[in-house]
Amino acid sequence: MSSSDAALSTPDRDQAIGSGAAAGAPPRYRIGDLCAYLDSYLPPEHIREFYRAYLYGAEAHEGQWRKSGEPYIFHPLAVARILAEMRMDHKCLIAALLHDVIEDTGIDKEQLAESFDLEVAELVDGVSKLSKIDFKSRAEAQAASLQKMLLAMTRDIRVILIKLADRLHNMRTLGAMRPDACRRIARETLDIYAPIANRLGINSVRVELEDLGFAHHWPWRRAVIQRAVHRTLGARAEMMSMVETTLKHALEQEELAGTVEGRRKHFYGIYRKMRDKKRAFDEIVDVVAFRVIVDRVDTCYRVLGLVHNLYKPVPGRFKDYIAIPKANGYQSLHTVLIGPQGIQIEIQIRTEDMQRMAESGIAAHWLYKSGASNGANPTGLAADWLQNLLEMQREAGNSVEFLENVKVDLFPDEVYVFTPKGRIKTLKRGATVVDFAYAIHSDIGNSCVAARIDRRLVALSTVLRSGQTVEIITAPGAKPNATWLNFVTTGKARASIRNYLKNLKQREAQGLGWRLLNAELEVLGTTLDAVDAPRLAAYLREAELTTLEALLGDIGLGNRLAALVARRLVEVDGEDVGTEPRAGEELHPHRLSIRGTEGMVVSFARCCRPIPGDTIAAQFSPGRGLVVHRSECRNLGSPEQRRDHRLDVEWAPDPEGEFTTEIRVEIGNRRGALAVVAGAIAELGSNIETVQSREKDGMTTAMEFVILVCSRHHLAQIMRRLRQIPLVLRIVRLPR
């Protein structure tokens, strides 16, 4: 017995923690047993510090009980045991013992730093939830707490390792919770924590989290798959034994050192493959697989040739994750073979180091101690992912949006593509050229205009496939397009595009707000530049705004009315500047010119589709800005709303761009009629966005076209041209 363990042999120790668990329950670890385990790799002084933390945590949690009825200290001790099995350092283990004291006791971060050190306090604070802030919903609170934890993880990877161990023990003891809470926690585990464990390469934790989450969220489905797997294993037991014996004998014949073990794919992995690939259980070939573990990388390839000589390989089912590792650093050779009785079997071939990395991932590298690393192992790959998290945090609008982007980025399937210089980039399956551009750098993504795949020009929406070489073409004046959000798949690309569009919309809102406010001030005989600075500052304080730009943005987005702001900024004939306008007084006597290039803060109503030449009016829509309607549109509301919701606008003398409008064409029911009408529309320089067709009777068909035109005059030309077609019976503009 070591000196440190002898020092811990006190009656208080076992009395505080209790004895073994009930049958079928997760094991209850004694502090003495855990210290004895730590003695295998930690020095005595670190174990003494760990025991002091245990006493500190036991005292802090005194009187607290878990839902299962056991003392609360059982939980942090079990979390520390999980991390000890990963052979984590003593600071991480101490933080595991204390990970709930800030959240659940009266001890704060400063007290923890004073009792131990700042490093431990930072780790505990990173794991703690945001409990002192009032949130509008559970989803917002969850997102904010996860955001805090993930950002703390970017400073020290041990934060997420503690959280994963915490979640793992909670899942092991989840049966004590209410059924609805079980399902909610299990769903969160499957959506967030298991994918994070996978992203960091900690396979042993991922598999257990997935199977526990599966058991609590879909117990019936798990039971069905479990019975099917046991039935399959029973039927294939003799075949599995034969294959294992054959592989071992072949290794001995070739004098190759290695071990062979059979393995069963875990239940959730089988279920997910059935769901995602829409296959029946009998079509899943890798329910049974074998793993060959050897000493060196070159031996892996020799064994691959050996097994291909023994059994015929299935074409297209070989994957070399040694040459091109997965995003989490996983390395192995995978091949599917036609085994005895024609049953397909999967063989995985890897070295002992690869096996250790596959099970422990980033935990095996101790990222917090390592310095520079390359991208071929979990340390370097995790560092790249953490950098992406920081970029997504900077560009996300709020914690919910950030969490959404993180979930997108945790998707496990990958494609591997090359840069023109031969560097490998790993992206999620379904990623496009734009995703690749943002994966290189945000500036590249923001300015990309085209791309070449294997030296051929392609569209930005092209979906990438493994093995392609992608070259991004950029232009100085290029900028992201809102339509990119329809096809990008990675969290980083989505966050970067949204951030750019958000800032663009804010700048456009400020420009519109300046025009609106200045127009109202001109009616009152002044301009924004001439407004008294102290008066402007006083109004900004009253409105709880920090800058004039924020005020202009609010006006442009329709959150504040320019006329009311103008009246508060100046006095009119000695009136109190805060008074409402007199009866009959128009709030918006000055017409605003619409050019069609105002951007996202001026939109055109789909209900009436105004175009240049129509008489128009605008309506404020909070958060969106101005929505332009035709004056006769019913959705403008009653005239009484004019003073506080509507704005008189007019078209500028030379509006720019194209505008959508809708027409209905009734035509004789003849073959090729649609082509004739579409050709006539195209002749006059208009583009058809959508077309819907329905048969009115056996003789006529009504077609509704949404087309792009420059003006009312352009539309009139198109309608005249269509009336010249003999088949056209009637044509009207919609809405009538």
666 part of the active site? no
For helices 44-60 and 74-85, angle between their N-to-C axes, nearest 10 degrees: 150
- Quick one: how far is CA 94 from the chain centroid? 32
14 part of the active site? no
Contacts of 240 (CB under 8 A, 6+ apart): 233, 262, 288
From the list 732, 713, 736, 734, the residue with the least C-alpha distance to 722 is: 732
Spatial contact of 363 and 202, defined as CB atoms under 8 Å apart: yes
Phi, psi of 281 (to 5 degrees): -60, -40
Q: Where are the alpha helices (DSSP H) in 396-468?
A: 399-409, 433-440, 442-446
Question: Which listed residue (5, 104, 414, 704) is catalytic?
Answer: 104
For helices 138-155 and 399-409, angle between their N-to-C axes, nearest 10 degrees: 60
User: Sheet harboring 456-458: ordered strands across?
Assistant: 456-458, 448-453, 470-474
Tokens at 449, concatenated: 């205009």
Cis amide leading into 76 (omega within 30): no
Question: Which listed residue (103, 244, 353, 471) is catalytic?
Answer: 103
Tokens at 149, concatenated: 């934890």
For helices 44-60 and 31-38, angle between their N-to-C axes, nearest 10 degrees: 150
SS3 category, 358: helix
- Quick one: how far is CA 158 from the chain centroid? 22
Question: Which DSSP symbol is given to 579?
Answer: P
Spatial contact of 121 and 147, defined as CB atoms under 8 Å apart: no
Q: From CA 100, how far away is CA 460, in angstroms rounded?
A: 48
DSSP for 641-704 reads GHHHHEEEEEE-SS--S-EEEEEEEEEE--TTHHHHHHHHHHHTT--EEEEEEEESSSSEEEEE
Q: What residue type is 651 in one-letter code?
A: W
Contacts of 17 (CB under 8 A, 6+ apart): 28, 29, 30, 31, 71, 73, 74, 77
Q: From CA 190, how far away is CA 109, in angstroms rounded?
A: 31
Active-site residues: which are they? 103-104
